[in-house]
Chains A and B, each alone.
Chain A
Amino acid sequence: MGYAATIEEGLRSLLEISELKDNYYYQTAVGDFYLMSKEFNRATDYYLEALRTCNSRSQKNLLKKKLDSCKEFM
């Protein structure tokens, strides 16, 4: 895959990385890709999962902002 990947190709490659399924950085990244693809329901699912696994208050707040931006479009 070249650097000029589309969002869909990037997302497909990202979903193949099974080792990071429980990592909130990964869940956030996948959520961001769905957000860019305007798939707000799926983005919300990933952000909520990230919110569940994340311990940091500031990271949680960032995820809440992302969730709010999803809600605006849903």
Chain B
Amino acid sequence: MTQPGNVHQLVGHLFRQEAGKMAAVLTRIFGLHNIEQAEDIVQDTLLQALSAWKFKGIPENPQAWLYTVAKNKTVDLLRTQKRRHEIENDISVLLKTEWTLVPTVKNHFLKNEIDDSQLRMIFACCHPSIPYESQIALTLKTLCGLSTSEIASGFLTNEETISKRIYRAKEKFKTENIQLEVPVNDLETRLDAVLKSLYLLFNEGYNSNSTNEIIREDLCSEAMRLCILLTENEITGQPQSFALLSLMCLQASRFDARLDDQGEIILLKDQDRSKWNSKLIGKGIEYLKQSQSKQGATEYHLEASIAACHALAEDFDATNWKYIYNVYCELSMIKPSPVIEMNKQCFGVCRDH
């Protein structure tokens, strides 16, 4: 057992890792309309852990401990409050009899079911009817276990604004009757929305004005974790999902080289390339290979190609600017935007000077 003194630190770490998973599973059981119920159980479970572990020390397998407590609380609630009769989803019939109640709740805490629940939750949080800024706030709160104040810090705004965004997003669950599912029929459009949201989430961490490095890295790593979930699933593991994951890996590989010890920005040409994470570059290239598609390149393919070109250049002067400029030209055709146009002009001149 871990010593009681480390309890707060470990619970904080576990909260990040497990709260989102438990919330997704419990929302799958209670239904999207009862998401607050699921969040209450997660909160109670973590408080119970904090209180019990403070005196008894941390158990050998804290994750299993948390899941057992959450399962028990769920079963108790479903039994005592007759809550099961209010649930209307594809598993509600299994929650209505004592014979199947406990095994059904238990089964939803198995690894593959947790992944499935998180995927469903991603699609719900990134539903097109919810504004992007609310999608990201809700994803961070529900799936990544970040507190409202941490999200506010990441976005350089106040807690009230973030709370409002999350509240409005949850209201959309009800008013738009959003289903907790991986949308097979409308996959391409819905997956686009999810990828866009994860892309923005990653960029928020990568380019954020927040001075809190831990929050910034958390935003990036959570975006990557959720993107990995998409690539590992048979339905959502589409070429564009791999391309986005490739882009994230290649960008994240430069994280440690972008700032000096005082937190000052180091420009690309001045970065110490030995500090670039070669393991992440390797993964990024591998995912880029896996993203090849007969349907042509998406914006993520092109951006990942640019990032790969930078990552593979021996030094700044050896960068293939002509290739980068050409990819920007292609990018400006499939995704015309003032920012792409600006980058295109900058890289065009970079090539010659």
Contact = CB atoms under 8 A, between A and B. Distances in A.
Contacts of A13: 341, 345
Contacts of A69: none
Given A20-B338, A29-B342, A58 B264 contact: yes
Nearest to A1: B348
Given A3-B322, A10-B348, A61-B264, A26 B342 contact: yes
Nearest to B321: A3
Nearest to B339: A20
Interface of B: 156, 209, 211, 259, 263-265, 267, 321-322, 325-326, 329, 338-339, 341-342, 345-349, 351-353
Contacts of B348: 1-5, 10
Interface of A: 1-7, 10, 13-14, 17, 19-20, 25-26, 29, 32-33, 36, 55-59, 61-62
Main secondary structure of the interface of B (DSSP, over half): helix
Contacts of A5: 345, 348-349, 352
A31 to B, nearest CB: 12
A20 B156 CA distance: 21
A14 B345 contact: yes
A56 to B, nearest CB: 4
A10 B211 contact: no
Contacts of B346: 10, 14, 29, 32
Contacts of B339: 20, 25
B209 A56 contact: yes
Which of B263, B267, B338 neighbours the largest number of chain A CB atoms within 10 Å of its CB? Answer: B338
B259 A58 contact: yes
Nearest to B325: A3
Which of B267, B326, B339, B348 neighbours the largest number of chain A CB atoms within 10 Å of its CB? Answer: B348
Given A3-B322, A20-B338, 16 more contacts: A1-B348, A4-B348, A4-B351, A5-B345, A5-B348, A7-B349, A17-B341, A26-B342, A29-B345, A32-B346, A33-B349, A57-B211, A57-B263, A58-B263, A58-B265, A59-B209
Contacts of B341: 13, 17
A25 B351 contact: no
Contacts of B338: 17, 19-20, 26
Nearest to B209: A56
Contacts of B259: 58
Nearest to A54: B209
